[in-house]
Amino acid sequence: MGAFIFDWAKIHQKGSVGLWTPLLALFSFLYGIGVRLRLKAYRRNFLKKKFLPGFVVSIGNLTTGGTGKTPAVAMLAKWAKREGHRVAVLSRGYGGRYKSRVLVVSDGKGIRSDAREAGDEPFLLAKTLSDIPVVISKKRLLAGLYAHGKFGCDFFILDDGFQHLELERDLDLILIDSDNPFGNNHLLPRGPLREPVEQMVRADVSILTKAGLYGPVDSVVGFLKGQFPEVPFFCADHMPSAVVLPNLNEVHEPEFLKGKRVVAFAGIARPEVFKDTLIRLGADVVHFKGFRDHYQLKSDEIQELIKTKERLDGRYLLTTEKDWVRISSFKLLSPDLAYLRIKFALLSGQDDFFEIIKDGINRKKYLYDNHI
């Protein structure tokens, strides 16, 4: 008998798996008790927060994946670097095999570890942010202190940091998927929520992502304005910026895919979004294979996809950049393998968004200068 495997993506949309629903509901109830107790412990100072010597901004969400934090972190890091700040990205290194207390993925001069050791997202950030240190640790405090002592960093970006209550931050940015904000509105494991929706009140800014693809859904906008009027929100999109053929050293504009027959695959939180993006670009997607988030494809699975491309007379085998970093070490990959590079862009209010961050920096500097 084969192992029973939950399709968590569907469960987190509908919240029902027949006979298993009561058990998942019980686990969600117990998980919720733990979450609320932890929040209360930090709120009442039973658990103490730690501080880093600099400005700390967190980019996170309420749900398990799917909001596109990695491109958002890269966008903010590049902006802060241009503003003259000594930036470091701090990550937990989810999925990485590292064993050390602190791992330098990039020192701002070169990449110092691979995707298997660091995890796909920190490695992708290190690859994207060639002049910015990326440091990972199970305890972001240790990563930040290392970046401060070793590289002189004083502007820290916490990748996926909203639930990392141990570390005090100066700004909390929360990302919300425009099309699928809270799934079925249940806590883990019955739903995708890491904590109750009302905890959005802790955020300083909320950003509706993928708003260009789906549009800012009126019901979501109305909910945010009604329930969290004090939290300013912005709309953003994850926009294709390039098609890269790494084995041929070629980079093309996204429009390159128009009319091309492609076989595509993705191991991200919502693979269907990648497929929709390719279709919007005019690609003829003759076959698509979705995998769970952070899935580590095997060499024979790639070979099978290559055979599928050849059988269906596909021109390119296409994937996401995050998937590419997980398979880039494989040998004998098809020269027609390509990945789509994505950038994060605010659709409106960009000046207001960065003004909020500047105000936070100035407020922190004032408090520091006056020893408040």
DSSP 155-204: EEEEET-TT-TTB--SEEEEEEESSSSSTTS-BTTTSSBSS-GGGGGG-S
What ranges do the domains of the chain cover?
Answer: 55-237+347-369, 249-334
With CA atoms as reference, report the closest residue to 180 among 25, 29, 64: 64
- CB–CB of 339/251 below 8 Å? no
- Tell me the torsion sign for CA atoms 157, 163, 167, 168: positive
- 185-213 burial, b at 16+ Cβ within 10 Å, e below that, comes to ebbbbbbbbbbebebbeebbbbbbbbbbe
- CB–CB of 162/62 below 8 Å? yes
Please identify every stretch of the chain with a pLDDT value under 50, giving residue numbers as ranges: 1-4
- CB–CB of 49/205 below 8 Å? no
Q: How far apart are CA 217 and CA 182, in angstroms?
A: 13
Q: How far apart are CA 266 and CA 252, in angstroms?
A: 20
Q: What is the pLDDT of residue 11?
A: 80
With CA atoms as reference, report the closest residue to 90 among 45, 60, 135, 51: 135
Q: Which amino acid is at 325?
A: V
Query: What are the counts of helices (DSSP H) followed by strands (DSSP E) for the chain?
Result: 12, 13
Token pair for residue 71? 């491109």
**Strands 133-136 and 103-107, sheet pairing:** antiparallel
Q: How far apart are CA 209 and CA 179, in angstroms?
A: 9
- CB–CB of 56/143 below 8 Å? no
This model's pTM is above 0.85: yes
Q: What is the pLDDT of residue 15?
A: 63
Token pair for residue 58? 């967190």
For the domain made up of 55-237+347-369, the CATH class stated in words is alpha beta
